[in-house]
Amino acid sequence: MASQHILLTIFCFLPMIYIADSIKCWTCRSDADPKCGDPFDNSTLPITDCKLQDNLPHIKDVRPTMCRKIRQKVHGQWRYYRGCAYLGEPGIGGDERYCLMRTGSYNIFMEYCTCISKDGCNGSSQTTISLSLLFLGCAAIYVTLR
């Protein structure tokens, strides 16, 4: 009987376990698709599995490990780029809440954000856990063990 409870517990919580060997990121450019800007509308954009991205010719054998979002203001126009990131660390000092900011001459501004916390982290806001799935798993265990 105890083994059935253990198996049920494992079966209920197994869908919530995700072992990441790669990250999935939104890939788009606002100059080609206005939905890529802020606020970000991912309703029609596919998410990209970064492990399927081609190697870059100037950094061979380096695979993308993070997502990135670049926000640029060039001559008064905002542009957004989202995609897989190959180099660097998440955020600034490992804190994804902060982005690298640069300004240049000729009214140029750039904000470069990287993240690794979850798939699609280079979008606007995402939920980090499926609360309904967690609730259903706990409810199933409770009902079975009663």
- The domain spans of the chain are 22-125
CATH 2.10.60.10 corresponds to the domain 22-125? yes
Question: What are the strands, taking DSSP E only, across 18-65?
Answer: 24-26, 28-29, 47-49
Buried b (16+ CB within 10 A) or exposed e, 104-142: eeeeeebebbbbbebbbbbbeeeeeeeeeeeeebeeebe
Asked whether the predicted pLDDT for residue 19 surpasses 60, the reply is no
Q: Which residue stretches of the chain are H helix?
A: 2-13, 131-145
Query: Quick one: average pLDDT of 48-72?
Result: 90
C-alpha to C-alpha distance for 63 and 104, rounded to whole angstroms: 30
pLDDT tens, residue by residue, 116-132: 999 999 885 433 344 44
**Percentage of residues in the chain with pLDDT exceeding 90?**
38
